[in-house]
Structures are given as structure tokens and as C-alpha cells.
Structure 1
Amino acid sequence: MAAVATLAASALLSSCGVLPGTAGSSRGPVVVMTWAPVDTKATNMPGMLAMAQVVEKYVNDQGGIDGRKLKVLTCNEHDDPVSVTSCAQQAADAGAVAVVGSYSEQGSAFTSALESSGIPYIGGYGITEDEFQSLMSYPINGGLPALLAGSGRQLADLCKKVTLVRPDSITGDQFPLFLNTGLKAGGLSPVRDIPTADDSSDYTAVAAQAVGDDKHSSCVSAVLGDHTSTFFDALRRTGDSQPKVQLSSVIGSVQQSVIDSTGGPDSPLEHTYITSWYPPASDPKWDEMKAAINKYAFGDDRIDIGDPGVQTTWIAYDVFTKVVRAMDPKTQLNATNVQRAMDRTTKLSTGGLTPDLGWTDDDAKSVPQHARMVNTQVTYQQIVNGRLVAARPGFVDLTSTLRLESDY
């Protein structure tokens, strides 16, 4: 995690006094928190908590942050608004200077709690609209809007008709809107929307509905989190032979470990088109992360190097450590000053894992309802011979697509 963030201002002014619960001018640890859902009936992200613990050991073995130890607190937010609010309060009580690389679908609850405590939220997964609206939030990717709009744009070149199978939830209700934005940009008609439970063990009826008249010119996109593979397995068993429809999803709902566990080259996911925020896990740009995992978490089955949650946590901590190391040494390290530093950061390199990042006014992409979005680029991948590989090189810029107001 070498390299230094570029600050729009040459230095931050030192604050007067010490905020309650912060280390002030002491040389105590730099406290942060990562939260994610574990052991819930919906999407679980234990790898993000495990990855945060890897980063703690990795950073501290390299001398910490300007000589201070990094202390990472982890919290299971249980996919529950009360629990994530409790996590935020624990962070505040511990004097955390940021919440880093986290996942929660309870956006309204946690952004309100963090705004009340004045704690910045750096590099969230991007699952909720609140993460792209709160002034305390510093996204590193385009979240689900970019993934789904990117997927729609890709499918518009491949299909004549698209069906979306997605969670029947408040969050899931946003999925067809974003997918339609991409379809519209590619000149295709709106998606056929099939909301369903995202914790079911049997999607047979839903799969039959999605396949419809089963033409190769039709595409079925499934975005069901941990249960996406269950749906695709049901789809494979629809009818007397393999369905002709083309398949699509987004990273997080499908990743390499899911492909491996469902048969590799013989997986029902073979040839599926995947939209991601980051390069494939096979890209050498991930070598530093892989080395850290091998050293500090070898054999920890919670961590999958192809998990976008794990990858997001890694990049988020990279951003956090670079920004903090670039702060004026005389500036007290507290949540308020970390937020000020983030506000002045621009052209920060993540080593090619994302485009250069920044959170100044000039970095904002002017996406409707997503004022905090600063990264609108995605990658296109496909499953070939049981491996996720790049379907086209580099990043695809969706800024103009995301600025469209879908009137479908």
C-alpha cells in the first residue's frame, strides 16, 4: 500500500483542542471500524471483516501509520437497522476516526448515526443510495447503480429482450431502474422485472417464468446475492435440456468461488456475462492483496480473493492509509480532520484497481440522486472454461449513461 494521496490543499490546518473520544496528540492507536452482515438469511459478507483484520496486521508489520498502530474494530451488523446503529455507536465510543470498507443495506440507519457522530464512511460497498448522498460517505466505486447500468449497456448489444430476477425488497426495487438506464442507452426496451425472495432454497417456478419462450436472443439477469447460484441451478434444470437464453449477473452475486463450487467448466454459469467494478482476480494488480492474505490469513475460508467485498475492503483501507499519511503531521488525527482530508483529496492512485479517486467538487460525476459518486467505471467479464476473465480490456466509463434519467 505504498504511494501518497494528493491533497487539493498543501496541508490541513491543525485543530484546536481534542475531540472527545479521540487520541488527540497522543501516540495511541489509530482506531477504525469495519462492519458487515454475518450469519443472516440474506447476503452475508464475513470476508470483509476478515480482510480488515488482515489489513490491520499488514499495516502494523510495516510500521503502522506514521509510527502509530492501526486498531481495527469489527462489528456484525446483522442486516438490521438497530444493530448497525449499535455498531456506529461502538465506533464513536471507541474514538474511531473512520468506518472503512464496510457493507450494510441499512443505509438510512447507519448514515444518520455516522452523521450524528461525525465519523466518515470510507469505501462502503455501495449497496444503498444513502452512500451516494451522505456528506460523510466517500465511495470508491459506483455501487450497484454502476454495476446494473453497466450490465444493461452490455446486454443491449447482446440481447433483444432482458429479464431481471432480483430481490423483492426496498433495495431490490432500485435494480430495474438502473438496469433500464443501461438498456435505454443501448436502444433496448425496458427489462421484464421478476421480484422474488432472496433467501429461497427453491427457485424452480421463478426460473421457468424467467426462461419464458427460451430464445438465444433473450437474456436472463439474476442479482440475488448469495442465492444467485441457487437460482441459476434451478434454471439449468428447467425443461428437458439446457436453456438457450444467455445469462448475466453482477460481481458479488457471482464470483470465482461460486463458479468453482458449482462445477467449474461444467457450471451452469459457464458463458455468463458479469459486470464488476474491478479487474478480474487473476490480474497482477491484486498481487499485493494476495500476498497479504497468504501471510496473515492462509486457510481462512472466509476470505475469497475474488469476492468484491474483500476487494472493496482492501482498496478502502489503501485509500484511508494513503490519505492519513498525507496529512500534516501536526494535525490531530481525529474523525473531523480525516473527513477534511478526504474532502481535499484528488487524483489518488489505487494502483490501477480503480481509476484515480478524489472527493473534491471537481471529482463528482453529477449523477442524479447520487451526488457523492466519483467513480462511474466498470469492467466487463465473462465466465470461460470455468474462469472469470476480461470480456474487454480496461474500464468502461458509464458517466453519460448514469446521467440519463430512465423514463421507462
Structure 2
Amino acid sequence: MCMHMTGRRLTNLLAYVTTAATGATLLTGCGVFPGATGGSREPVTVMTWAPDQTRATNMPGMPAMAQAYARWVNSQGGIDGHELRVLTCNEHNTSTGAAACARRAVHEKAVAVVGSYSQNGRAFMAPLEAAGIPYIGGYGISEDEFTSQLSYPVNGGQASLIAGHGLQLAESCRTVSLVRPDTLAGDKLPELLNSGLRKASQRNAVDIPAVEDAAEYTAQAGQARDKAGDEDGCVTAVLGERTQTFFDSFRRLPDDESGGATDDKSDAVRISSVLGSVGQPVIDRTGGARSPFEGAFVTGWYPEAGDKSWAPMRKVIQEHAFADNRVDPADAGVQTTWIAYTVLKEVIETLDEDKITATKIAHALDRGAQIDTGGLTPALRWKYEDLLGAPGFPRIVNHEVTFQVVRQGRLVAQKPGFVDVGETVLSAP
């Protein structure tokens, strides 16, 4: 570390900083970069954004994982001799915030946006497209991530999760109530879930829209329980960070008109969700084995958090995230960011050039650079013939999911391996 740096500057450099003025922070080094070949290889600047400290879904672990990745890779000599500089930005769960982050990436000459979360695809993709900046491994929450030619998704997004969840629930549920956000993105979820249910000749789910950032969901919880029924009924909620709030309201439903506490009636209904709305961190916070999620079905993109394929990521977190409790290896956002930076690293290494540009990265991906993620996903490649071509989600290349269940407070595999839901997504209207 440079001797002329003040302690205050070093602290700021390693902290996750968000301000209204810049919305971003830059993680850099100084002096002679270890591993660089005579200083001939230029640094590579990228950005990772996510919402933080908002009333809806927050993903602070994604920028924090990006910073830990930069510390790790730079300690190894960088990516093919290039120092990795990571800009982070709080997009505030607003279209204005997302657009501001994208403009910042353009202004700072980022060569890619990597491993980020935003529901505001239209707001951030336009500035990136105008500047030719690729969007690598976004969380998969916005439709634009699966339509823009400069987007390179590493998972099948909400589309694959929800369609796969329908398949998972069809094996155990007679009737399904779906509680989902009353948003444009949420409007697409019922048909995706139904496409999975119909694959097993099940009837459509009951659609229950809800405000995404509500403080409680008693009315929706009561409706969901009543519509699911007592005989093999299932209630699934996909409300992001507010899913926990919903199931808290669900547990508190009165058992009868006298207002007695719910016991048998709600317990007779199986609950479920998808990764990102429910994950190991949420289960841990809500009581582990005594969590309301005990026994819940969960559909994910990746292997369970305890799978050996995550060992390299865990090692990096242990050694380079220090005591940063935002970086949870069981968090789907952290996992997606790790995979996205794996893609970036492999692409830069295949280029083997002194100067890396956004155009070179995008061309390498378009020409068929194939990425091995160490078993966390199938091999990733974004040539035309690799695209699923589903209506609304044409750029899905990874359409595999995992079926998991909460047992003794841990998310574990319900069935081994991946489940291909490509045909199910294609069959959704």
C-alpha cells in the first residue's frame, strides 16, 4: 500500500460509499502495479451497481463482492496483467438512480457493467447501449437484460425461476396462490408460473398483486391462504426483500373470526418462493430451524450454498472481504456477482491485449467466447445459436434451475443437479 496515503483516505477507499452527488466510489491501487508487464498493460475500469438503504429490495452485497473480487485479483497481479478498478453505485431502486449510475459508468469510461441489480432496465440500458458498454451478469430482474444485444446474462432471470417454480410446485400442490408485486415486472410472473404448472397438467395459480414496499400484507395473506385451501394448498410469495414481511403477516392470520392465533389452518398450507426473495440469510435471520420458512420449497439458479463449487468464492470472501457482513456467500446477489466477474476475467484473458475496451469485450462475447464457471452454471456462451429466443427473454442462454427445500434451517437440494426449464419458458405466452 502506498506510504503517502492517509488513514482517512485508505478507509474511504475500502468502504462502500454512496452519495447523491456521485453515487459511486472507485477502488484503485497506486504506484507500481504488481504483475504488470513493464507497466504496458492499462488498468481496466468496470462498474457494479445495486440498490441500498431503500424501502424495497436492497442488494448491498453485490458491490461489496465486486470490491472484494478486485482486491483478490489485484493481489494476484490483476487480470492478465491489468489492474481491475471497480466503481460502485447505489441506484436507489429508481429509474433516475439507475440512469445516473449508467451515465457515471460512461463518464468514467467503464468497459463493462458487471454483476449488478436493477429493476429499471430501460433507464440504464439506453445510456450503456449509446456508449457500447456491455452489461455482464446482471441479476436478471429486468426484461431489458434479456432483450438488449449488449446484455450477457449468466442466469435465466426471474423468467426461469418462476417457470421452474411452477414445475417444482406441481409435484406437491393441488392449488397455488401467487402473491407478487403489482408492477410491470410482476405482471409477467403469473403466466410464467402457470407455464410450469401446466407442464404437469395443474390448473393456473390464483394471482394476488400486492404493493412491493408495504409494511404488512394481512389482506393479501388471508386471500392467499383462503384460495389455496387446506388440501395440498401452497402459497408462494415473490416480493423480493418484502417476502419476509408477507410471511410474517401470513403467520399472524387469525384462525377464526374471534381473532385466535393461527395454528393448524396456516400450517396446513405449504409455503414457497424463489431465490432472491427467500435465501439462507433470510432463513438465518428468522430463526433457522424455527424459521417460518422451515419446509418451504425454493427454486434457485445455482447449486445450494454448501456445494463444493462455491469453495473458490468462499476463499476470496474469507481473505479479502475482511469483516464485511454485506458479503454473504449464501446470498444470490453475491453469487451472481462472483459468476459475472468470472466471465469478465476469462474474456479479458482470451483477448490478451494491452488495452481493453468495451467494444473488444462485447465482440469477444458475440464471437462465442465460452466461459467455464466451475460447475456453478452450464458453460456460458452468447452466440446467436446459444440464445433461447423466448418471447420477451430472447437472450437467455442459461435456462437451468435447481429445486431446493428448507430442512432443519438450511437450504438443501430437493433433487440433485440442474433442471432445464427452457421449453417451459418458451411455452409461456
- Aligned partners of 1:61, 1:345: CA distance in 2, in Å? 29
Aligned pair 1:129/2:143, yes or no? yes
Alpha-carbon shift at residue 165 of structure 1 (Å): 0.5
- Aligned partners of 2:423, 2:173: CA distance in 1, in Å? 21
Aligned pair 1:217/2:241, yes or no? no
Which residue number corresponds to residue 288 of structure 1?
312
The answer as to whether partners of 1:42 and 1:199 remain within 8 angstroms in 2 is yes
Counterpart among 367, 377, 391 of residue 368 in structure 1: 391
Alpha-carbon shift at residue 28 of structure 1 (Å): 2.8
Counterpart among 186, 189, 198 of residue 175 in structure 1: 189
Aligned pair 1:64/2:78, yes or no? yes
Mapping for residues 58-137 of structure 1, pairs under 5 Å? 58-137=72-151
Counterpart among 248, 258, 263 of residue 241 in structure 1: 263
Which residue number corresponds to residue 210 of structure 2?
196
The answer as to whether partners of 1:323 and 1:345 remain within 8 angstroms in 2 is no
- Aligned partners of 1:340, 1:402: CA distance in 2, in Å? 28
Find runs of 4+ consecutive structure 1 residues off by over 3 angstroms: none
Alpha-carbon shift at residue 177 of structure 1 (Å): 1.9
Alpha-carbon shift at residue 329 of structure 1 (Å): 2.7
Which residue number corresponds to residue 230 of structure 1?
245
The answer as to whether partners of 2:52 and 2:92 remain within 8 angstroms in 1 is yes
Aligned pair 1:27/2:41, yes or no? yes
Counterpart among 286, 297, 304 of residue 262 in structure 1: 286
1:31 maps to a residue whose letter is T
- Aligned partners of 1:60, 1:260: CA distance in 2, in Å? 33
The answer as to whether partners of 1:346 and 1:363 remain within 8 angstroms in 2 is no
Alpha-carbon shift at residue 345 of structure 1 (Å): 2.7
Which residue number corresponds to residue 10 of structure 1?
none
State the identity as a percent.
51
The answer as to whether partners of 2:47 and 2:113 remain within 8 angstroms in 1 is yes
Say if 1:216 and 1:270 are closer, same or farther in 2 by CA, change over 3 A.
farther
- Aligned partners of 1:58, 1:345: CA distance in 2, in Å? 27
Instruction: Spell out, residue by residue over 1:47-68, the C-alpha distance to the aligned partner (whole angstroms, 9 max, x if none).
Output: 0010000010011011101212
The answer as to whether partners of 1:357 and 1:375 remain within 8 angstroms in 2 is yes
Alpha-carbon shift at residue 368 of structure 1 (Å): 1.9
- Aligned partners of 1:298, 1:230: CA distance in 2, in Å? 30
Does 227-236 or 386-395 show the bigger shift?
A: 227-236
Alpha-carbon shift at residue 26 of structure 1 (Å): 5.6
| Partner SS for 1:373 | coil
- Aligned partners of 1:93, 1:202: CA distance in 2, in Å? 41
Alpha-carbon shift at residue 271 of structure 1 (Å): 0.4
Cα RMSD of the aligned pairs, angstroms, is 1.4
Gaps of 5+ in 2: 1-38, 256-261
- Aligned partners of 1:108, 1:90: CA distance in 2, in Å? 16
| Partner SS for 1:381 | strand
Which residue number corresponds to residue 12 of structure 1?
none
Alpha-carbon shift at residue 107 of structure 1 (Å): 0.6
Instruction: Spell out, residue by residue over 1:299-353, the C-alpha distance to the aligned partner (whole angstroms, 9 max, x if none).
Output: 21212211111100000000110011011436x4101111001112344210000
- Aligned partners of 1:62, 1:163: CA distance in 2, in Å? 50
Aligned pair 1:297/2:321, yes or no? yes
2:320 maps to a residue whose letter is Y
- Aligned partners of 1:216, 1:230: CA distance in 2, in Å? 25
| Partner SS for 2:263 | coil
Which residue number corresponds to residue 402 of structure 1?
425
Mapping for residues 4-15 of structure 1, pairs under 5 Å? none
Alpha-carbon shift at residue 192 of structure 1 (Å): 0.4
- Aligned partners of 1:151, 1:273: CA distance in 2, in Å? 8
- Aligned partners of 2:80, 2:212: CA distance in 1, in Å? 44
- Aligned partners of 1:131, 1:26: CA distance in 2, in Å? 34
The answer as to whether partners of 2:51 and 2:118 remain within 8 angstroms in 1 is yes
Which residue number corresponds to residue 348 of structure 2?
324
Gaps of 5+ in 1: 1-24
Alpha-carbon shift at residue 170 of structure 1 (Å): 1.3
- Aligned partners of 2:423, 2:133: CA distance in 1, in Å? 32
Which residue number corresponds to residue 154 of structure 1?
168
| Partner SS for 2:376 | coil
Which residue number corresponds to residue 153 of structure 2?
139
Alpha-carbon shift at residue 91 of structure 1 (Å): 1.0
Counterpart among 381, 395, 413 of residue 390 in structure 1: 413
Say if 1:346 and 1:402 are closer, same or farther in 2 by CA, change over 3 A.
farther
The answer as to whether partners of 1:153 and 1:185 remain within 8 angstroms in 2 is yes
Counterpart among 372, 375, 388 of residue 349 in structure 1: 372
- Aligned partners of 1:405, 1:65: CA distance in 2, in Å? 40
1:219 maps to a residue whose letter is C
Aligned residues: 381
Which residue number corresponds to residue 336 of structure 2?
312
Instruction: Spell out, residue by residue over 1:126-151, the C-alpha distance to the aligned partner (whole angstroms, 9 max, x if none).
Output: 10111000001000000000000000
1:180 maps to a residue whose letter is N
Alpha-carbon shift at residue 216 of structure 1 (Å): 3.8
